Amino acid sequence: MKIPVSWIKEYIDYNISNEKIAELLTMAGTEVSEIIKFGNEWDSNITIGEIKKIDKHPNADRLSLVEVDNSQNIVEVVCGAPNIQINQKIALAQPGAKLYNPYEKKISVLLASHNMREVERLCDSVLMMKDGAIIDQGTPKNLINKHGRDNLEEVFLKLTRNSNELW
């Protein structure tokens, strides 16, 4: 069973290390087999942000324009998550963030742009997602040709629009 340290701290006020708590719990008969720490190896460009404003994206039904307070300034991001709420705390991957790609078992760098043409110019490989699932990937040129569009923005809009919309 996995128990967050925050739950233990709701019942016990202590100022000792998590390792010492694990040792004391084990000595009391409740074996702690491992301590898992989340976020220790996060890239410095991944921060905690708070959603301040949510607007519909003007060109896509399933995307939102979201203003996020990252404690230094308000940043605007395009978001495809359907379950976001104002005042929700989120992990904010900012431009340059290094994210682990479990499908290719390698690190990917997050590029953010208001202009998909920069992505076409700068990226060797593009991964497009919808509702948390990968919907297509490849080189910008191959994706544009595969979907019969003029640029990556058109490819993205084609892939992420509702199936009942006309394109």
Per-residue pLDDT tens over the stretch 69-79: 988 899 888 88
Distance in angstroms (rounded) separating the CA atoms of residues 57 and 92: 19
Question: pTM here?
Answer: 0.46
Confidence band, pLDDT 50/70/90 cuts, at residue 94: confident
- Res. 137: pLDDT tops 80: yes
- Res. 165: pLDDT tops 50: no
- For residue 91, list its beta bridge partners: 48
- Res. 148: pLDDT tops 70: yes
Longest dimension (CA), the chain: 66
pLDDT in tens, 40-50: 666 777 888 89
Q: What is the DSSP letter of 30?
A: -
The single residue listed with the structure tokens 């979907």 is 147
Q: Which CATH architecture has domain 46-93?
A: Beta Barrel (2.40)
The pLDDT mean for the chain works out to 79
Give pLDDT, residue 46.
82
Q: In which residue ranges of the chain is CATH 2.40.50.140 found?
A: 46-93
Joined together, the tokens standing for residue 70 give 């990252």
Burial class (CB in 10 A: 0-12, 13-18, 19+), 25: middle
Of 54 and 104, the structure prediction assigns the larger pLDDT to: 54
